[in-house]
Amino acid sequence: MHIPDGYLSPSTCATLYVFASGGWYAAWRRIKEAVLSRAIPLISVFAAFSFVLMMFNLPLPGGTTGHAVGVAIAAIVLGPSGSILAISIALAIQALFFGDGGITTLGANCFNMAIVGSLVAHWTYKLLTISADKAPGRRIAAGAIAGYLSINVAALVTASELGIQPLLFHDASGTPLYAPYPLRIAVPAMMLGHLTFAGLAEAVVTGGMVAFLQKSNAGLLVRQSTGGTSGLATVPVSNLRKLWVLIALLMVLTPLGILATGTAWGEWSVEELAEHVTLQQGAPQGLQRLSSIWTAPFPDYAPAFIKNESFGYVLSAMFGVGVLFISAMLVGTRWRRGRQTTEHLE
């Protein structure tokens, strides 16, 4: 679902940046200043979890790959606002440093996975867990269903965005300028893999994480009636050690993610597109022009100075999580200093 640069027209990208910006702004406003000191470490840990989880590629029908996102468990713990910010941060790091998703399409990817995915997961889980405080099994099942629905709705929105490109943006001869797949191809191709393997993976991950948190840190599953900042205001975040240990374990296991061969559908480079799609005039002109707008320093999670592919993958995971951790510390420190200065002036 990481749409690369060139697959969406500039106007589509701009529109989805506007939509995503609205979601980011609303999410930030709902993370009240009173709970910001608690929100920062929680958002960073679930951003790190999502970042690492998306490195585990799964083989899908047709020789492509897919992955879980981790958006549902983030929405369950953080509420939709915290989840939107956490998943957006993870997607931004992927795009900037590893070329996983484009820069021009970052707004689209955040809208699809972070915003749509978070809202679907939040409301699904909320509706299925009414009066379920004493029913752990029901919460696990609700989490699994929320995970399955959230990733599939996000995939459907993504497929629709790709599928309307040939209809809206083409040259005088009718040749597509950006993504060349019409809706009749884009929707079935995207949904086949997500309704099966990727959707089930998200369901298993979400249900498993709900079960894990019920035993290790049940307070993180406490939901508030406001719905916007679930658990952030009432749950101490001093004991996130088990979650960080889990993330560290996942980082060590990330080489399993490169066992699945092939590239995710709709994420092919210009060269790969020529191999998968028969186009008389080569890759679409607009796609070729925008595809090289940004060159990530470590494309495909493969640093050029590391010869061993597995070690390079682990090192990329460590780098991405490290960026998240250090950024969270810096933001938290700056916020605390700002609070102290304000209180001193008062």
Higher model confidence: residue 34 or residue 115?
Answer: 115
Full-model pTM: 0.92
Q: Alpha-carbon distance 276 to 185, whole Å?
A: 13
Nearest Cα to Cα of residue 231 among 95, 83, 105, 18: 83
Whether residue 188 has pLDDT greater than 90: yes
Q: Comparing C-alpha atoms, which of 217, 264, 257 is closest to residue 7?
A: 264
Report the C-alpha gap between 63 and 84 in whole angstroms. 31
Residue 313 has pLDDT above 80, yes or no: yes
pLDDT digits (tens, 9 = 90+) for 241-265: 889 999 999 999 999 999 887 788 8
Q: Is 59:102 a contact under the CB 8 Å cutoff?
A: no
CB-facing half-sphere around the CA of 176: CA atoms within 13 A: 25
Q: What pLDDT, on the 0 to 100 scale, is given for residue 165?
A: 96
* Distance, CA of 86 to CA of 23 (rounded, Å): 12
- The rounded distance, in Å, linking the Cα atoms of 281 and 136 is 57
Greater confidence (116 vs 27) lies with 116
Q: What is the mean pLDDT of residues 296-311?
A: 93
Return d(Cα 154, Cα 120) in angstroms, integer.
9
The position carrying tokens 């470490």 is 41
Hunting for tokens 């599928």 — which residue is that?
163
For 95-161, the DSSP string reads HHHH-SS-STTHHHHIIIIIIIHHHHHHHHHHHHTTT-TT-HHHHHHHHHHHHHHHHHHHHHHHHHH
Q: Is the pLDDT of residue 343 over 70?
A: no
Q: How many CB atoms are located within 10 Å of the residue 330 CB?
A: 11
What is the pLDDT confidence band of residue 331, given thresholds at 50, 70 and 90?
confident
What average pLDDT score do residues 169-176 get? 90
Share of the chain above pLDDT 70, in %: 86
Q: Helices in the chain by DSSP H: which ranges?
A: 10-30, 36-53, 71-98, 106-109, 117-128, 136-163, 165-168, 183-193, 199-216, 241-253, 270-276, 285-291, 309-345
**pLDDT attached to residue 217:** 82
**What digits encode the pLDDT tens for the residues 99-108?**
999 999 999 9
Please provide residue 243's backbone torsions phi and psi, each rounded to the nearest 5 degrees.
-70, -40
> What is the phi/psi pair of residue 170, to 5°?
-155, 165
Overall average pLDDT of the 11-26 stretch: 95
- Residue 280: pLDDT over 60: no
Q: Tens digits of per-residue pLDDT, 203-238?
A: 999 999 999 999 888 778 865 434 445 445 444 555
The per-residue pLDDT for 228 is: 47
- The one-letter amino acid at 170: H
| Residue 16 CB contacts under 8 Å (≥ 6 apart), including other chains | 8, 105, 107, 108, 111, 161
Of the two residues 200 and 241, the one the predictor is more confident about is 200
Q: What percent of the chain has pLDDT over 90?
A: 63
Q: What is the pLDDT of residues 34-59, one digit of tens each?
A: 566 668 888 999 999 999 999 999 98
Topology of the domain comprising 10-345: Arp2/3 complex 21 kDa subunit ARPC3 (1.10.1760)
